[in-house]
Structure 1
């Protein structure tokens, strides 16, 4: 494998806080996918390696005649094309991608809003889907060591190039790229080629986009695996970094990298960062990527891999960008961090209720914030499906860990998938119920036109298999079952509230229990608690002699524990400074009306507390 054959010579390299670590802390709401996307195939994917016959190529869309660029020499002056909506773009000549080491895959395309989205596909057409999403400034070439391992194991492997990257079309104007635009294109891509039950692996900006799409569309994803990535809510209107002045200016400025022998000096002692970027590095990286004449993709990838790239591998990372006219995509990516405000809460909220298997595989020598133990642990602590999974930090790997340890990562994924028997048990949702057992309490969330989420709870008993088989519209989400009133509290409609109405939905009876009006509500400064405002007319009652479990804030606000995820209950919990969980005996019983709206707080062990309440 390439990473094994590289010379042990230790070249002096640079460290970028990654640069792409651009992801610093961050996840987004996605708008509806375009109706104008059309899948296009130039050449059928190779599947012989997996022992399957080649897939017959689809008919080429007549709108996608080869652009002048494609037939030109790699160093020819680019021809600027224009979509019907007026977006100027260029298309990297095919000659730029000839004879790349470890990369013999033919490109496939989906047209979205007049621009081609490129991808490669390997493995049997009827295999379980593995979707691989790269970051910046790399492209799907980053997965060259992972694709054959996964395809040989019988998986249908798809590696997509983001707009402006790899073999995808490249708008020439910086403002043609946006964070939500990348999210929308990924959703449309998934829809157009008909992907379901997706096993996704994401890294860098691929995580900021991929985790957000997975969080808002959890029903599409069977498993999620993350390498050196993140996703957190950023408040609306917040810009994380000063914007780049004069973004169209081309300047000769110094690289923000610090020269260090990256392969010889470890950045970490365990989880303690020994050597890392200074303050302000990401703002410097934004400016450098946007304006520096010397910015090259290979420089960044070489800086953030443990093993030296060969000259041919460096050239492969630069292949999509033969001149600056092709570079608007990678130049724009870091600055998209300032578009996260108000666009990440829904995706993060979806992850905090994601019960299906969730794995983190981190590089042990990535000095950027995405490479920290804290970034990895934050996902493990907040995503329910991460519990009990074989998380790890890989030695001899830096930020672009797929390049350093691609074969190892793919082998671990194959082994991990093999342990996940989701056909007849509850592994996919973390529910500890026997296969075929009927129960009530399954939850569906209906996304309304005003952005709120209406919660529907099943009143008719059903099995997990029946719940998973329900086909829901695009604006509905399947949620995990809940064990309500775990501490003896009983919910009733509050006095004066409307009578509970049962409705027939998808062949079963459901009742509308609440409306989620705001998610991603900040609860504490440390980010250990997640909050949502819910409108409902409920009172909660405890029998005499009961003990109420309550969460108390530093200000004395009290929230009663009323639920936890079925099968995921644990007494181990990490609380922010000043918060505490108390047991309150109520010899005479206790009844209270929940406020409207109610603040629902979830702790890292997936217990739910609601309030604030008074009288305890």
Structure 2
């Protein structure tokens, strides 16, 4: 049994601009006893569903500028909280977190909700995990399109010294200042929004996932997820036939224009990206523009 903490619901009372229905399950196969949380907004019978996958150390609050655009198109939006983040339970031991622990959670949730005609929306760890999901044929059959932002595929190589410094900092900082970290590259955040990023973590004991996540990136061939990353690269390069859209926060010091250009070269048919010159790593904070451009590209909204 995994020992976990649960953030009190009252911690989210002051979160601004994020009043969406929250669903919970404590019986996902393989995760019995752990409460998983996710946003489920829009028509249950919608013919399209946007699956928004967050990264580290954020939670789906990061998508609050994009979700209204997706909903206005008539779609359903599912935004899961990974375990250790948001409203989902937070294991207290770092060793309980692994690449497969998070990836399998997403697969089980998609199966539980029987999501189809998925537009997958990913950034950071949302991409490291999400881009490997189509290696599973069951998920690949559910996926129609995807929107990718500032992320990569873990294939056994390090993203570089900037990432290594971030990993060392995270592992050595038990009480990571999550909101301030996100605000560093996102200067337009208000104090209330910064506090909202801190809301899931009433104390340092809730932050094991935020601390250990960078150390789980498959930077060596022998690490969990590296073989999946290589298989995923083959899928996107050779088997992908759906639509894609890429947006890049050019001010990201680790996963900016050059790394994203390398990722784009792996994605069959991926068009030229939308570049946000001032956009940092958490580029969803410029998300309304990105969402509208993506939907226009997909034909869901008229181009402006």
Structure 2 Cα separation of the partners of residues 176 and 144 of structure 1 = 29
Structure 1 Cα separation of the partners of residues 135 and 258 of structure 2 = 21
**Cα distance per residue 1:424-479 (max 9 Å; x no partner):** xxxxxxxxxxxxxxxxxxxxxxxxxxxxxxxxxxxxxxxxxxxxxxxxxxxxxxxx
Among 335, 344, 347, the residue aligned to 2:232: 347
- How far off is 1:379 after superposition? 2.8
Any unmatched runs of 5+ in structure 2? none
- How far off is 1:169 after superposition? 0.6
Contact 1:170 1:326 in 2 (8 A): yes
Contact 1:215 1:349 in 2 (8 A): no
1:190 aligns with 2:100: no
Q: Which residue of 2 aligns with 1:121?
A: 40
**RMSD in angstroms over aligned alpha carbons?**
1.9
Any unmatched runs of 5+ in structure 1? 1-85, 242-278, 421-616
The alpha-carbon distance between structure 1 residues 293 and 345, as it changes in their structure 2 partners (threshold 3 A), is closer
- How far off is 1:335 after superposition? 0.5
User: SS of 1:349's equivalent?
Assistant: helix
User: SS of 1:358's equivalent?
Assistant: strand
**Cα distance per residue 1:478-515 (max 9 Å; x no partner):** xxxxxxxxxxxxxxxxxxxxxxxxxxxxxxxxxxxxxx
Contact 1:200 1:221 in 2 (8 A): yes
Q: What aligned pairs does 1:510-549 form with structure 2 within 5 A after superposition? A: none
Structure 2 Cα separation of the partners of residues 343 and 201 of structure 1 = 19
Q: Which residue of 2 aligns with 1:226?
A: 148
Structure index of larger Rg: 1
User: SS of 1:180's equivalent?
Assistant: helix
Q: Which residue of 2 aligns with 1:414?
A: 295
Structure 1 Cα separation of the partners of residues 189 and 42 of structure 2 = 27
Structure 2 Cα separation of the partners of residues 177 and 391 of structure 1 = 33
User: SS of 2:45's equivalent?
Assistant: coil
Among 220, 244, 259, the residue aligned to 1:375: 259
- How far off is 1:333 after superposition? 0.4
- How far off is 1:294 after superposition? 4.4
- How far off is 1:395 after superposition? 2.8
Contact 2:52 2:63 in 1 (8 A): yes
Q: What aligned pairs does 1:388-407 form with structure 2 within 5 A after superposition? A: 389-403=271-285, 405-407=286-288
1:326 aligns with 2:206: yes
Structure 2 Cα separation of the partners of residues 375 and 281 of structure 1 = 13
Structure 2 Cα separation of the partners of residues 161 and 110 of structure 1 = 12
Structure 2 Cα separation of the partners of residues 360 and 315 of structure 1 = 29
Structure 2 Cα separation of the partners of residues 284 and 391 of structure 1 = 28
**Cα distance per residue 1:532-570 (max 9 Å; x no partner):** xxxxxxxxxxxxxxxxxxxxxxxxxxxxxxxxxxxxxxx
Q: Which residue of 2 aligns with 1:316?
A: 196
Q: Which residue of 1 aligns with 2:120?
A: 200
- How far off is 1:129 after superposition? 0.4
- How far off is 1:382 after superposition? 2.2
**Cα distance per residue 1:190-238 (max 9 Å; x no partner):** 101111110011001100000011344422210011001111532xxx8
- How far off is 1:345 after superposition? 2.0
Q: Which residue of 2 aligns with 1:304?
A: 185
Contact 1:355 1:383 in 2 (8 A): no
1:385 aligns with 2:269: yes
Structure 2 Cα separation of the partners of residues 232 and 280 of structure 1 = 15
> Which structure shows the bigger proportion of residues in helix conformation?
2
TM-score (norm: length of structure 2): 0.89
Structure 1 Cα separation of the partners of residues 36 and 91 of structure 2 = 12
Structure 2 Cα separation of the partners of residues 232 and 89 of structure 1 = 27
Contact 1:109 1:116 in 2 (8 A): yes
- How far off is 1:286 after superposition? 1.8
Q: Which residue of 1 aligns with 2:247?
A: 361
Structure 2 Cα separation of the partners of residues 337 and 379 of structure 1 = 16
Contact 1:203 1:228 in 2 (8 A): yes
User: SS of 1:399's equivalent?
Assistant: coil
Among 147, 166, 171, the residue aligned to 1:290: 171
Q: What aligned pairs does 1:458-469 form with structure 2 within 5 A after superposition? A: none
The alpha-carbon distance between structure 1 residues 357 and 101, as it changes in their structure 2 partners (threshold 3 A), is same
Contact 1:228 1:362 in 2 (8 A): yes
- How far off is 1:109 after superposition? 1.5
